[in-house]
Chain A
Amino acid sequence: MSITISRLATFRNEKPYPFCPGCGHGPVLDRLDEALVRLALDPARVVIVSDIGCSGLSDQYFATSAFHGLHGRSITYATGIKLANPELTVVVVMGDGGTGIGGAHLLSAARRNIGITVIVMNNLNFGMTGGQHSTTTPEGAITATTPGGNLEHPLDICATVGVNGAGYVYRGTSFDEDLADRIVAAIENPGFSLLDIWELCTAYFVRANRFSRRGIEQTMGELGFSPGVLYERDVAGYSAAYAAAQGGTANAPLGVAPQTIPTEFAHSLEEPATLLLAGSAGGKVRSAARVVAEAAIRAGLWVTQKDDYPVTVKTGHSLSQLTVSPQPEPLGPVTPPDVLVVLSDDGLRKVRPLLGSMHPDGVVVAPPDLAGVTTPAHVVLVDPSEAPVRIGKPALALSMASAAIAAAGWFDLAALRAAAACGPFAEQNTGAVEAGLALPHG
């Protein structure tokens, strides 16, 4: 049995174009159709992504797959479609209006070299909404919104995407006889391709500026916007680059995979209690709190950890408040802690408002140089310099927290040792915990 595959004669459907007489959109879409016929693609696997404006009507005249979204965002949908299924041929048809409002997407698509083809139907103004100026309107041109002549310099679309890495960039006009060849080359480029196709808007721009085909060529010349293939690079499309970059991690363990903690030690808490570590950014306050939290969990307690630090993470205070409870506790408001560990001036400044409202049974653990606090709570001086081994700055938070936990007696200290002995920092954490537990604590 033999199967005869006949090439589709057209990718258009039977609907006639709705464009104004003399408008460039119809001829450009005819060239696109010719290009698709020449490439002999499966029309279902060709996606015409249209923008808004007259160009946004384009997808309705093709028998391909189609995506008609919001103004200026067509490149984002095309990117999502291409990333989801890199086998699809994705062609964006947009106007100079969409190019302007979606400028960030244009830049990013070029930088990424996402493997889509963008055809800009550039008629130098907004046609559908009444002939207003766009980002490509030449300086001096008369439009509905520039009655005294346009004051803005027109965007060089091709240079913009070209200098930012696009794989294929072409500037031409809707009159170009070889436009279908250029569209074929653009689609065949694995990276980001753009064709900036200048057209006549016979409804507005032509009327307001006595514009013509010759005017297009003259304006390009005056601006120094050369026609032709301006960039053609051998690039990998983003999807291929992504697959290559991620290849090594496929099937690697998930970062969010469960890391279970056994409950193997005893605790003596009957009510919820809070421990607040108050130190400086960079002082490993949060990681110390995490070790204490995991220790409490090992002792059968339920812990939540509320961290507070400035948006500039490497300066100022760093607070971690642990709520430990024999029963699961809902998240609640900040309250004065039962045990406060002061680690630095930054931390002390931040918690000073809480000191006065601490309970008389509460405990403030502080090194001698920060012990000058006024609080109804019991102040316990813990001098890290009295440790049998030197406690370095990275270990200070966990050492002081360990001394505080030893003083508080909430749970079996074996839980703290077990928690410290886990994970990639087991050696450092164990050293910090042992040094802290060896400190005299009141």
Chain B
Amino acid sequence: MREYIDGATAIVRGALAAGCDFFAGYPITPASGILMAMMRDLPRTGGVAIQGEDEIASIGMCIGAAMAGSRAMTATSGPGISLYSENIGLAIMGEVPLVIVDVQRLGPATGGATTVSQGDVQFVRWGTAGGYPIIALCPTDVADCYRLTVRAFELAERFRCPVFLLTDKEVVMTPATVAADAFVPLPVPERTTADTGLPYEFVPAGDVPALHLIGDGAAVRFTGSTHDEGAFITKHGPTIEALNRHLAAKVDDHVAEITMMDHIAQAGAATLIVGYGVTAGAVASAVELSDSPLAALIVRSVWPVPEEAIRDALAGIDRVVVPELNLGLYRREIERLAGDREVVGVNRIDGDLISPQQILEATA
């Protein structure tokens, strides 16, 4: 048995499987399918979905709902991520478990609403003040949208931070044939809560404090200002430093746990292709079609950069090819890990996809 579905449907199915019970979003192509499906289906499972007056309100509602006990998700595209920016920082500072779907379209500005792109891969990482880490997962196809949405909720709970599902117009809006058993039931992510003690414990830095939910037990304080462990505003230097180091360490100390990648290793391969998201399929095809052995790395957790895994895959490689639907935005992450190796991009920004043949030309 097979299904004929698009990525938007798979994302919503994944969110519901992960126990999502709050969604707020604002209409934007190519993410509107997720909003509409959530507005229809979430109340049927006892949750709440609402169309915000704008993107700022939508993510704000999600943050409020998340701290009052909901498992929250929002979905937008690049222009909406721009408006989410300040609240992404709030979710980092307030340690909010939140899933943000970015269905990338061609930018900058309004760009091309129905045109595919991977132009937000650095933007989601650096899109708010301060430079503190977030997590971003990149599904390669419709079935992966389902799996990685569930994983995004798991990671949001585990690390109490915004987790991006970084996808694109083609994966989300193109109906595709999927084996029905690709949608295996997955367990609802675990949630660790506490109703006594301090709402924010940040020592040791790499630990993630249990979630204190508003309305569950004792009074709970939440703040987006620089704060002590009780969520009171502080200007005490050592406390400030401990807080900020914690916000980075709780993600950066756990890269191995977050890392998701598929490594196609081949004996004798001296060229490695690194791809993510919608280009992953063309990468795999290029490896199959090639007369000479090629290695490939499909990065499904693009942030934090899985540096160790990438370094391991670079062993024995002297040339790296990075196909992307942008001008080489993720290639810079590979370049800084590649040492003296040649790193070349295959870049398409005309609104169409990269073919396996284009990649093969760059491997020659």
Contacts and interface: CB of A to CB of B under 8 A. Distances in A.
Interface of A: 43-45, 47, 49, 57, 59-60, 63-70, 73, 76-85, 87-88, 104-105, 107-108, 242, 246, 249-256, 258-263, 290, 293-294, 297, 301-308, 311, 328-334
Given A47-B214, A88-B215, A256 B41 contact: yes
B68 to A, nearest CB: 4
B215 A85 contact: yes
Contact of B4 (A68, A69, A252, A294): A294
A330 B171 CA distance: 10
B3 A258 contact: yes
Contacts of B192: none
B231 A303 contact: no
Contacts of A79: 50, 57, 60-61, 64
B170 interface: yes
Contacts of A43: 219
Contacts of B214: 47, 65, 67, 81, 85, 88
Contacts of A69: 60, 63-64, 90, 94, 222, 224
Contact of A254 (B16, B52, B86): B16
Nearest to B21: A84
Contacts of B247: none
B221 A84 contact: no
B67 A254 contact: no
Contacts of A45: 215
Contact of A80 (B9, B54, B62, B86): B62
A256 B113 contact: no
B60 A261 contact: no
Contacts of B64: 49, 67, 69, 76-82, 84
A187 B12 CA distance: 36
Contacts of B222: 66-69
Contacts of A87: 215
A249 B87 contact: no
Nearest to B230: A60
9 contacts: A63-B219, A73-B56, A79-B64, A104-B53, A259-B5, A305-B175, A308-B114, A311-B29, A331-B281
B191 to A, nearest CB: 14
A308 to B, nearest CB: 8
Nearest to A242: B48
Contacts of B66: 80, 84
A83 B50 contact: yes
B362 interface: no
B232 A260 contact: no
Instruction: Please list the 4 inter-chain residue pairs (A to B) with the smallest Cβ-Cβ separation, ordered nearest first.
Output: A330-B281, A80-B64, A76-B60, A77-B64
Contacts of B285: 330
Contact of A65 (B45, B65, B219, B353): B219
Contacts of A249: 43-44
A53 B171 CA distance: 43
A293 B219 CA distance: 55
Interface in B46-99: 46, 48, 50, 52-54, 56-57, 60-70, 72, 86-87, 90, 94
A260 B178 CA distance: 10
A57 B223 CA distance: 11
Contacts of B354: 333
Contacts of B57: 73, 76, 79, 104-105, 108
Contact of A306 (B37, B65, B174, B231): B174
A198 B105 CA distance: 46
B141 interface: yes
A206 B37 CA distance: 53
